[in-house]
Structure 1
Amino acid sequence: MKRRRPRIVIVGAGFAGFSTARRLSRLAHGAAEIVLINSTDYFLYVPLLPEVATGILEPRRVAVPLAGTLPGVRLVLGEADALDLDRRRVGWTDPEGHHHDLGYDRLVLAVGSVNKLLPIPGVVEHAHGFRGMPEALYLRDHITRQIELADAADDWHERAARCTFVVVGAGYTGTEVAAHGQRFTDALVRRHPRLKFGERPRWLLLDVAPRVLPELDPRMSDTAFRVLKKRGVQVLTGTSVAEATEDGVRLTSGRFVPTRSLIWCVGAHPDPLVADLGLATEKGRLIVDAFLNVPGHPEVFACGDAAAVPDLGHPGEIAPMTAQHAVRQGKAAARNIAASCGHGTRRPYEHRDLGFVVDLGGVQAAANPFKVPLSGPVAGAVTRGYHLLAMPGNRVRVAADWLFDAVLPRQGVQLGLVRARAVPLEHTAPEVPAAPRGGQRD
């Protein structure tokens, strides 16, 4: 990067965008202008959101400030909403509603993903997703509120409905939410005399797949199922929601479950900005080559959930939408961008699977580092160690919260900071609260 300073614009500060910016800031040494456009001023460590929603971690523990963490990177706070690839300009709207645009020499699209919707009656109106901080904060308050309202209810049926929580989707997120959620509601109930000796709160975990964690090693799936079953979570495989109403959900089996809590963890869909580009996509993700370049636009790169990155280890397939892939794709994109500016040599994206971890709450987890299956406290230690190493900041604070949770009771209070109308399921930016609207209960 010895000629005129090129301007590199990165859209999105999730795992892929953050990793791209961080690696580029180290490679450039000030020789490039790096601009990061993001709707929040922090990088969100999504894997620990279930612990935020269940009172283990305080929200700021999983929010790593971008300022100071990315030296040499200029943060532009706003939502990217327009791309002109011919003129090489990006348009965005700032938090106060003003529109701006910016030219670029290189562009990185790392816009991430949003909640995946299915055409099921009532789901959009009555379910809430779990992909951003507002949704985690809402769920934390909602769970606490349902237990408190159940304690105040005189009608047994209302009490049972408020103490029933339905999670749809038994992948990483849904499994962790259900596992942590059961422990959280058990702890809350102990503080409410009218519920303490009554029926235990129920958590149901649904998935159309034949097992939990269907995308992972069956041994990890078996471990997770055993822990969930022992904890009291009812796992219903081969089952989903046929209809959602204000009073409950009707399952595809025909059974009606009275509930006030429908948590949607059915997966992710690439950010709508990808579809608006009018470029070739695969499964809704922007097609790129092995160097993370968009065909026909050598100055445009894409990585993370928004990109259909070829999996060179499995010809004909694309890399899964996981944080592990996003981080490594971001680093590869940074290296290839630097090469396109005359610094280094570009290389195709190749990935060696290091294994996966699933936090099941307490000392329980399922893990397979380097293909070695682990369960119980050993897996729990490996899982927490992995998260501490993977986080780009706040490690001491996270470890301190884990220690406090081990020796102190959880605080069961609702702050009311995020209301239901701020986290609609169809929201295209789950990382920020939606504009106020009516029609949903809190």
Structure 2
Amino acid sequence: MTTYAPDRPRVLIVGAGFAGYQAARTLHRRMRGRARITLLNPTDHFLYLPLLPQVAAGILEPRRITVSLTGTLPGVRLVLGEAGRVDLDAATVHYTGPEGAAGELGYDRLVLAVGSVNKLLPVPGVTEHAHGFRGMAEALYLRDHITRQMELAAQGTDSAGVRAARRTFVVVGAGYTGTEVAAHGRMFTDALDRREPARWVLLDRAPRVLPELDHRLSTTAGRVLRLRGVDVRTRTTVKEATGEGVLLDDGESVPTRTLIWCVGVRPDPLVSQLGLSVERGRLLVEPRLNVPGRPEVFACGDAAAVPDLTRPGEFTPMTAQHASRQGRTAGRNVAASLGVGTQLPYKHHDLGFAVDLGGVRAAANPLGVPLSGIAAGAVTRGYHLAAMPGNRVRVAADWLLEAALPRQGVQLGLVRSWSVPLDSAAPEQARLPGAP
């Protein structure tokens, strides 16, 4: 346990996602005990979101992608709680603890890295009947739900129409998350029951899957999905959702008991409550990640609109790659504002992207070189192991076991549907049965 003298500057980091975690680690290494660093976060771990689809598909155990904050940030004080209000004039952050108690933290420097939440669209019935995919609770719920629907369909007590609906899974959004959920989900249901394959439908308004990537990678991903049996529908989305199915905007009705919402994310609503300038809900910052007119406040990750110096006039996209690197830059610049080192503007060229399509299949373009097949799969898994701040050996071990042993399809019953509502701003705080 680290002890600080009372006269040392107080640095408060709100959020321990990619940006907040890297900011805390960088700042601790640079300050070497010369500042009191506090990390405010609802949970005691950093969640490696890119591997969440593999948890939902039963490939990885949940703890494999959760990295202990106290175990990997030994010089940083962790306070469990959710930020509720920021008083910039009083330099305090008000929060609510995990058991409902209110608290308050003061600061000399503030780093806002509160991340993002599910993006909602005004589609009737979606909020009531769809589930997002932004946290561990949602992944665990989805794994149980898919398993339950396959088991109920197999027992044969329902009508043929109901059984078909239970075996139909609709994913809305063909970006990174939706594409990986559909790819891994189809393999998961095949592992549960190959006698009567489930139907997976992937929808997106865009003209192709993975519209963020170049056409070659998008074409590769679309081909892999279709060969695996996923019904890919581009230029199509949901017009209305009910408990029995979805109505598409082309007029077709798809009976289903499963609607997975992966249309994207929006900045945490806390950002818009600060009274500062925002760009589409993201806090406007300068290239050094400081807030204009508030030199003591920095922001990074999905919560910040960071000027993209490689593309003048644009802002960096909301990706884990940018969030991690912005976190490091924020940590460096906060330290510099306290007299250690020099400040630098954030500037980063994309190193490429990787999309895991299950098994040995992937689509990747490391350093701009398009890859597919086994080579892309190896690069994708290597990238994830390098990017994770911990648990690398455990993740690699799970991958080896998954390749050698049959996948287990059992319900754990840890998360109920009411505890992971689509409109939740904090899916990681989903309440488990018996929790307060």
Deviations 1:297-337 (A, max 9, x none): 10000000000000001011000000000000000001110
Deviations 1:160-211 (A, max 9, x none): 0000000000000000000000000011014xxxxx2x4x200000000000
Q: Aligned pair 1:164/2:161, yes or no? A: no
Q: Among residues 95, 105, 118, which one is paired with 2:121 in the alignment?
A: 118
Stretches of 4+ aligned residues off by more than 2 angstroms: 1-4
Distance in 2 between the 1:69 and 1:435 partners? 26
Deviations 1:52-87 (A, max 9, x none): 000000000000010120121000011111100000
Letter in 2 for 1:181: G
Letter in 1 for 2:96: T
Q: Among residues 245, 249, 254, which one is paired with 2:246 in the alignment?
A: 249
Q: Given the superposition, is the C-alpha separation of residues 231 and 26 from structure 1 closer, same or farther in structure 2, using an over 3 Å criterion?
A: same
Residue 74 of structure 1: aligned partner: 77
Show the 5 A alignment for 1:14-413.
Answer: 14-154=17-157, 155-190=159-194, 196=195, 198=196, 200-413=197-410
Distance in 1 between the 2:312 and 2:280 partners? 17
Q: Given the superposition, is the C-alpha separation of residues 428 and 404 from structure 1 closer, same or farther in structure 2, using an over 3 Å criterion?
A: same
Deviations 1:365-424 (A, max 9, x none): 000000000000110000000000000000010001000100101110001100000000
Structure 2: stretches of 5+ with no match in the other structure: none
User: What is the Cα-based RMSD across aligned positions, in Å?
Assistant: 1.3
Contact 2:172 2:202 in 1 (8 A): yes
Contact 1:424 1:434 in 2 (8 A): no
Structure 1: stretches of 5+ with no match in the other structure: 191-195, 437-442
TM-score by length of 2: 0.97
Contact 1:310 1:318 in 2 (8 A): yes
Distance in 1 between the 2:250 and 2:23 partners? 45
TM-score by length of 1: 0.96
Q: Secondary structure at the match of 1:167?
A: strand
Distance in 1 between the 2:372 and 2:6 partners? 53
Q: Secondary structure at the match of 1:108?
A: strand
Distance in 2 between the 1:153 and 1:254 partners? 30
Deviations 1:238-257 (A, max 9, x none): 00000000100000000000
Contact 1:133 1:432 in 2 (8 A): no
Letter in 2 for 1:140: R
Distance in 2 between the 1:422 and 1:361 partners? 28
Distance in 1 between the 2:156 and 2:131 partners? 24
Contact 2:414 2:432 in 1 (8 A): no
Contact 1:174 1:205 in 2 (8 A): yes
Contact 1:117 1:426 in 2 (8 A): yes
Distance in 2 between the 1:414 and 1:25 partners? 41
Distance in 2 between the 1:302 and 1:220 partners? 32
Residue 193 of structure 1: aligned partner: none
Distance in 2 between the 1:334 and 1:62 partners? 23
Percent of matched pairs sharing the same residue: 70
Letter in 1 for 2:204: D
Distance in 1 between the 2:220 and 2:7 partners? 55
Q: Secondary structure at the match of 1:67?
A: helix
The alpha-carbon deviation at position 109 of structure 1 amounts to 0.3
The alpha-carbon deviation at position 435 of structure 1 amounts to 8.5
Distance in 1 between the 2:152 and 2:6 partners? 65
Contact 1:364 1:376 in 2 (8 A): yes
